[in-house]
Amino acid sequence: MKVEMNKFKVFYKENGRTVGEFDLINYNNITIQYNFYPNYVHFICVYFEGEKKELFEKWLSKEKSLYEKFIINYFKEIDKINDIPSFKGKLIQEIKYGETLSNESYHFHIQYEQLPNEINFSFFPGDNEFLLSYQIPMPINSSGELALPEYIDKYLIEETIKRMWNPFRRKTTFWLPLLHVLR
């Protein structure tokens, strides 16, 4: 047996729980929701009755442990980034949108030597927010497809994010408006 997902999505993290969903290819693309806790996954059926509920129960009894292991390993891949002591890489692209402080956003695509896929930083100075997305290099099905990039800033510790951004802080075209970001 192999993990066979059509998509894998993370919605949010709160109170030590991560919530998301995926679709099962071999079970008529039914949607399964999950709650991930460190080293434990709880699966939720979104169907109340009928064939899709029966498919969920069939899948749960046969393949639950395989998918639980996949999800635990998926989040361990994110955790591994926190263990990287320093980051080196190349700034691939930088883009600015908006004309005023209230609607400006800055987007940076960086390929780190330590990671197989690029990281995307997005800064929104008017809202004092940023996002960091990354495509976890784990195939979600036998075709070798990867899940879409996920926002992982909520999973990384603040010091890790600073270590990632610091080598590029003054190398960007837009360094001045972002001078005090992630300090």
Give the number of domains in the chain: 2
Mean pLDDT of 141-159: 93
For residue 95, what are the domain limits? 89-168
Please write the tens of the pLDDT for every residue from 32-50. 999 999 889 999 999 888 9
Mean pLDDT of 158-174: 89
Q: What is the pLDDT of residue 33?
A: 97
106 and 65 housed in the same domain:
no
100 and 40 housed in the same domain:
no
Asked if the structure places residue 41 within a domain, the reply is yes
Asked if the structure places residue 178 within a domain, the reply is no
Contacts of the segment 113-120: beta carbons below 8 A, 24+ positions apart: 113/87, 113/88, 113/89, 114/84, 114/87, 114/88, 114/89, 115/81, 115/89, 117/149, 118/92, 119/164, 120/149
95 and 164 housed in the same domain:
yes
Please write the tens of the pLDDT for every residue from 44-103. 999 888 999 999 999 999 999 999 999 999 999 999 999 999 999 999 999 999 887 678
93 and 131 housed in the same domain:
yes
118 and 137 housed in the same domain:
yes
> pTM for this structure?
0.88
75 and 100 housed in the same domain:
no
Asked if the structure places residue 179 within a domain, the reply is no
Q: What is the pLDDT of residue 47?
A: 87
pLDDT band at 174 (very low <50, low <70, confident <90, very high): confident
73 and 31 housed in the same domain:
yes
66 and 95 housed in the same domain:
no
